[in-house]
Amino acid sequence: MSEYKPLKFHVPEPTGRPGDEPDFSGVIIPEAGSVRRPSIDTHAADMKELASTMVRVLNKDGEAVGPWAEGLDDDILVQGLKNMIRVRAYDERMMTLQRQGKTSFYMKCTGEEAIAVGFRAAMQKGDMNFPTYRQQGLLLSTDYPVVDMICQILSNSRDPLKGRQLPIMYSSKEHGFFSISGNLGTQFIQAVGWAMASAIKGDTKIAAGWIGDGSTAETDFHAALVNASVYKPPVVLNIVNNQWAISSFRGIAGGDHATFAERALGYDFPALRVDGNDFLAVYAASKWAVERARRGFGPTLIEWVTYRVAPHSTSDDPSQYRPKEESSAWPLGDPILRLKNHLIKRDLWSEERQTQTEAQYNDEIRAATKEAESYGVMGSGASPKDMFDDVYEEMPPHLREQRQKLGV
């Protein structure tokens, strides 16, 4: 008889499924201000614990504490709050558009607004993001015309992408926003390549890659980390760990016990693990990593710990796979509320201004939506002729022939 017992196959399970009480007891949350802030030239080996803990600035009372709280510009905090309110107003309005049947698809970033908005505040003009579909805050923090964003979602006659892309897959080189692919993980390595080019040319621009916790399982995640490790280009690699990849919890990406940030350590570059719902921590960590990259000290991996309050997309129903109350039980709270409370405490903001700002952005987005709808909804106004252009720089004969067959 064999001395070995039959092997068992392991499939990780989240702490809660529909009908269960939410359980975040496994999420270890250090006290705000308890994590040190190394200098930007620190070697990965000398700051390993920052990949395992969590950088937090705002404490329970809404005060900014600890070394990461230093040197944060008040104007940027106030502007950050406004931008987050704008993102949320935009998300709600676009969701309504989808429900009205005016677009086929939308994806909200509710609860994750601080990450894109805070990171964008640390970048400079000329830097380049390689975003996923949940970083609308990067674009909404700039002066990119919101009407054009909505026209893209409506695939109408003013759609800057001529109806060729799924709604929300924006592109704006001028605003440092690389064309979104929708193929997960692919853009992470492209960000590394862009940063390599900046270093090859002796430029001072930096790139930022974006990926979700689920997509860290893609081979391109490894491609990005190994190339970042080898060439040490000026890139910040952002993992938005919002706990859920459609219906698969982070454990299905191998992130149940080890942190995602710790993966950088094997590649010999530093990682930060950050409270992604704490705007001050987001902005401070972003500044640190962006400055490190721009000063030539190489890449940083950042794991933003957050929670996907929204469904994956308008085609998804989270009540089928996670506890109903899980998002309200998320222990890191709501990023807008937390920053608002902090700014009110410091007399930089007020409930009145909050209400006014919400109304202001609701009005802005409503007006922009109305204008965008005048160019058509749900693909109307997109020309079939545009389908054949730009496959190549010059249209080859076979495409010209096919276009003629379609009669456009």
Partner 1 sequence: MPQMSMIEAIRDAMDVKMGQDDDVVVYGEDVGYFGGVFRCTHGLQKKYGKHRVFDSPINESGIVGTAIGMGAYGLRPCIEIQFADYIYPAYDQIVSEAARLRYRSNKDFIAPLTIRTPCGGGIFGGQTHSQSPESLFTHVAGIKTVIPSNPYDAKGLLIAAIEDNDPVIFFEPKRLYNGPFDGHHDRPASNWSKHPLGDVPEGHYTVPIGKASVFSEGSDVTILTYGTMVYVAEAAKKETGIDAEIIDLRSLMPLDVDTIVESVSKTGRCMVLHEATQTSGFGAELAAQVQERCFYNLESPVVRVCGWDTPYPHAQEWDYFPGPGRVGKELKAMMEAE
Q: Which residues bind partner 1 (CB under 8 A)?
A: 128, 130, 160-162, 164-165, 169, 171-173, 178-179, 181, 183, 186, 189-201, 207, 219-220, 222-224, 226-227, 230, 390-393, 396-398
Distance CA 105, CA 108 (A): 10
Q: Are 334 and 63 in contact (CB under 8 A)?
A: no
Least gap, CB of 197 to partner 1 (angstroms):
4
DSSP-based three-state secondary structure for 272: strand
Q: Which is nearer to partner 1, 95 or 206 (CB)?
A: 206
Least gap, CB of 141 to partner 1 (angstroms):
19
Least gap, CB of 105 to partner 1 (angstroms):
15
Q: Which is nearer to partner 1, 62 or 160 (CB)?
A: 160
The tokens for 295 are 């000063």
Q: Which is nearer to partner 1, 299 or 323 (CB)?
A: 299
Q: Which is nearer to partner 1, 80 or 209 (CB)?
A: 209
Q: Which is nearer to partner 1, 166 or 245 (CB)?
A: 166
The tokens for 269 are 């570059």
Contacts of 208 (CB under 8 A, 6+ apart): 119, 123, 127, 128, 129, 130, 191, 235, 236, 237, 238, 290
Least gap, CB of 245 to partner 1 (angstroms):
18
Query: By CB neighbour count within 10 A (0-12 exposed, 13-18 middle, 19+ buried), where does 403 fall?
Result: middle
Least gap, CB of 390 to partner 1 (angstroms):
5
The tokens for 278 are 């704490």
Least gap, CB of 305 to partner 1 (angstroms):
26
* 98 residue type, one letter: Q
Least gap, CB of 186 to partner 1 (angstroms):
5
Least gap, CB of 67 to partner 1 (angstroms):
33
Q: Which is nearer to partner 1, 33 or 163 (CB)?
A: 163
End-to-end CA distance of the chain: 75
For residue 245, the Cα-to-chain-centroid distance in whole angstroms is 13
Sign of the alpha-carbon torsion through 303, 205, 193, 107: positive
Name residue, tokens 């990965």: 44
Q: Are 237 and 209 in contact (CB under 8 A)?
A: yes
Distance CA 394, CA 386 (A): 14
DSSP-based three-state secondary structure for 408: coil
Q: Which is nearer to partner 1, 199 or 339 (CB)?
A: 199
Distance CA 185, CA 187 (A): 6
What count of other Cβ atoms lies within 10 Å of the Cβ of residue 368? 19
Least gap, CB of 2 to partner 1 (angstroms):
37
The CA-based angle 8-11-14, given to 5 degrees, is 140
Q: Are 116 and 129 in contact (CB under 8 A)?
A: no
Q: Are 274 and 285 in contact (CB under 8 A)?
A: yes
Q: Which is nearer to partner 1, 194 or 249 (CB)?
A: 194
Least gap, CB of 189 to partner 1 (angstroms):
3
DSSP-based three-state secondary structure for 172: strand
Q: Which is nearer to partner 1, 186 or 360 (CB)?
A: 186
Q: Which is nearer to partner 1, 35 or 217 (CB)?
A: 217
